[in-house]
Chain A
């Protein structure tokens, strides 16, 4: 076992270096003594013998050193020496070590935290078998991907050969009653092959069987792991039990494994149960289902794309009215799920990369200052025979020890930061459950740490070992090489430029966010409480009973004290968008294809507009007389009027929506008025044309209630809950919140990213300030005597301050100018993320440098004031 004894010797060298050394000395002393004894025996004088023995032996020190090299593991030993020495040196300059490690910790922490999110969300494969074969298939209208209509889906499924399986799903909600508190659950209605396509087996029970998605099949459900634990206490006997969903008895057939989270936020899976109208070829225009497919083992993504696209072209010919101009999109499921967050996450990753660079530059600059300050020590070491490589290695080891310290602290920060990110991330961040610090993330931060140690260590190491001993000795104890000063100034300019770039980017995004938050949504969200209910189709089977419930609810709510108006609608702007429908205009020829008139459809009670504060622009609004028995009436939004009746008065015209998914969604009538626009989907998206119908004429089972009051929304909502319970104790109330909350949530994701980016930019600013502070403090320290002499000779303190300030500010201005140039180029990347702010927004590009200059000025003044405050006599007398 040769390697074993070798290993034993290596280990001994590390843990018992002193012992190894002692043995070596003992051995050589023994040799010398034996030799001396022999020489004495041969007649040498005892006093001479040892000297003679030494001469025969040669230089003891030299052979000791050669022997150290020969016994192997020398580098290990030196590393140990260097590390111990580095610790001692760093321990001596605690302030420096603390600042440097903190800087690195912040850099490593921020990078690791963001990387862990990027890895969890963008890089980690979906938790399904062969996830790269899973694709999302969508229809595309005028360039934007949309949902798919069931007839199109069925045609794709029948004709496409690229797929081993292709499944449909859509999200909706259902009332769980009969077991405790009634609850509104999020259900996914899926085709029977859904689990097979994903390659997922239920953890308990079974999945859906072929044919169970038919309209006539018995109702069966698979519960999510979360719902099973929360609502049923993880009781395995739930499988086989019957639960009541929307008052329909439904058999629980299985429990899904915890990793199945498609679609996001789902509580349970039921089957599609498409009815005849859903799959009617005339319903090709009603696009409301999502499609996921698994590529067959022989198919490629490109092949599937071409095939689906060819089918879409055929369908456009078959049904030009609905599918004309409609193309298709096939993307990997991963890309489809995370596509929306890719750019913001990559921008954040870029931002923390900048922060890390600044941190490295900062520490390099600090180390450089220290190397210069240690000139004397390095000179002594060179004089004692240390080679250039040895000195460079020593300084690099110090950097790596610093990096290791910073890295460990950074990792702790990262673990906390990652948890905070996951907790604070708005719910829309997909796959966020997969975000945690794991091996890959650890390797990443290790790499970042090592790299940073080398990056910021190499410059001082080269600098420290550059000069020969003569130069050092000539320079004397005060010798500060000018070269190192120039290098430090360059580093400061670099970090100011990096910070400037980051600040400019963050500035633009912050400006976008404030602009967006100030956008008028078209209604008045303050003092507005909202909640939703969905009536059971069993107990409210017809329009009359649904209408009766709505009327009763609204009347009672309006009778509450402090309530000024209460209204009911189907869907709320900014909360759950709405449905887009195509329609025809009375007396005009039908238009088909992408140019077909299209609008968002909303059902509302007369007081909905008053409660929301949506103004009536022209004509009249809905009244109580517009009921079931009265002629059908319609209100349109200004955007609809502008788009479809640009040169005429829409009032008095008629319109009729296309084929709807459900009879109750189809409607038409005479336009009686025009109301103000509202932003339906997001504050950033211009209002789409919208048409309203009165609830009394087209009742619906799903209602969103808005209540405007002069009191707090929580008081109103508590009273409203009581009223609903009185009307129907089995009816779950959900989505209970204030409208301010809905508006806030609609920009929560953007606010999250922008806040993070602003934090990183702030961090960059602080680090740059530390860099400037370090350079100025060092320079003031070096020039103490000179400045003291200047003051003693009569220069005013202001003049002296100006002298040094000029140095600091020149660096800052140079850095800021370069940074502005870089930012001008780089902010283009952000263009898609900006809202009504140009990528070269003048205000941002003026304000950010101004902030940077002020911070830099403060960073200069602090060390300067301290230096100037000392009596010049003291500084002049002080040596070195």
Chain B
């Protein structure tokens, strides 16, 4: 895995958590929502969303449950857990500090 993917992965995790903070969604819905916000991130393929979802579920930050989509179809919905919410807070803060620092460096030139 190269450095770009690493960076991407961390960002993708944050985006998923942020998206789910607004309410439960199925995979395609998350992809659409993130896509609306930033299509760049998912340029590598919408499929890369799923390994990330499974990893987050394994860490216990999100929960999954089968339900019926608004279109009336069976779909797997993801929901933020309490721990996931804490994680989102922590990662948002990290991201904020990180982006501030980066912006600072960029402005300095």
State in angstroms the CA–CA spacing of A69 and B1 once bound together. Answer: 14
Consensus secondary structure, chain A interface: helix
Knowing A30-B74, A31-B27, A31-B31, the reply to whether A70 touches B51 (Cβ < 8 A) is: yes
Knowing A2-B83, A23-B76, A28-B47, the reply to whether A71 touches B54 (Cβ < 8 A) is: yes
Contacting residue for B45 out of A57, A67, A72, CB 8 A: A57
State in angstroms the CA–CA spacing of A836 and B75 once bound together. Answer: 87
Interface residues of B in 88-102 (CB under 8 A from A): none
When distances are taken between beta carbons in the complex, the residues of chain B under 8 Å from A66 are 48, 50-51
Cβ contact within 8 Å between A63 and B31: no
Cβ contact within 8 Å between A27 and B76: yes
Cβ contact within 8 Å between B73 and A30: yes
Is residue A877 within 8 Å, beta carbon to beta carbon, of the partner chain? no
Cβ contact within 8 Å between A67 and B50: yes
Is residue A6 within 8 Å, beta carbon to beta carbon, of the partner chain? yes
Interface residues of B in 34-73 (CB under 8 A from A): 44-48, 50-55, 57-58, 60, 63, 66, 71, 73
Is residue A201 within 8 Å, beta carbon to beta carbon, of the partner chain? no
Is residue A35 within 8 Å, beta carbon to beta carbon, of the partner chain? yes
Q: In chain B, what residue has the closest Cβ to A4? A: B60
State in angstroms the CA–CA spacing of A564 and B82 once bound together. Answer: 102
- Give the interface size class of chain B: 20 to 34
State in angstroms the CA–CA spacing of A56 and B46 once bound together. Answer: 6
Q: Which of B51, B66, B76 has the most chain A CB atoms inside 10 A of its CB?
A: B51
Tell me the minimal C-beta distance from B100 to chain A in angstroms.
30
Cβ contact within 8 Å between B47 and A60: yes
Tell me the minimal C-beta distance from A34 to chain B in angstroms.
4
User: Hey, what's the 0/1 contact readout for A6-32 against B, CB within 8 Å counting as 1?
Assistant: 100100000000000001101110110
Task: For the complex, count residues of A whose C-beta is within 8 A of B.
Answer: 27
When distances are taken between beta carbons in the complex, the residues of chain A under 8 Å from B57 are 9, 71
Cβ contact within 8 Å between A72 and B58: yes
When distances are taken between beta carbons in the complex, the residues of chain A under 8 Å from B46 are 31, 35, 56-58
Tell me the minimal C-beta distance from A64 to chain B in angstroms.
8
Cβ contact within 8 Å between B47 and A58: yes
State in angstroms the CA–CA spacing of A34 and B76 once bound together. Answer: 13
State in angstroms the CA–CA spacing of A63 and B50 once bound together. Answer: 7
Tell me the minimal C-beta distance from B35 to chain A in angstroms.
10
Interface residues of A in 645-669 (CB under 8 A from B): none
Tell me the minimal C-beta distance from A67 to chain B in angstroms.
5
Tell me the minimal C-beta distance from A3 to chain B in angstroms.
8
When distances are taken between beta carbons in the complex, the residues of chain B under 8 Å from A70 are 50-55, 58
State in angstroms the CA–CA spacing of A4 and B50 once bound together. Answer: 23
Is residue A5 within 8 Å, beta carbon to beta carbon, of the partner chain? yes
Q: Interface on B for A, CB 8 Å cutoff?
A: 26-28, 31, 44-48, 50-55, 57-58, 60, 63, 66, 71, 73-76, 83
Given contacts A6-B58, A27-B75, A70-B53, 5 further A-B contacts (CB under 8 A): A9-B58, A30-B28, A57-B46, A63-B51, A70-B54
| 8 tightest Cβ-Cβ pairs between the two chains A and B | A58-B45, A63-B47, A66-B51, A70-B55, A71-B54, A2-B60, A70-B54, A58-B47
Q: Interface on A for B, CB 8 Å cutoff?
A: 2, 5-6, 9, 23-24, 26-28, 30-31, 34-35, 56-60, 62-64, 66-67, 69-72
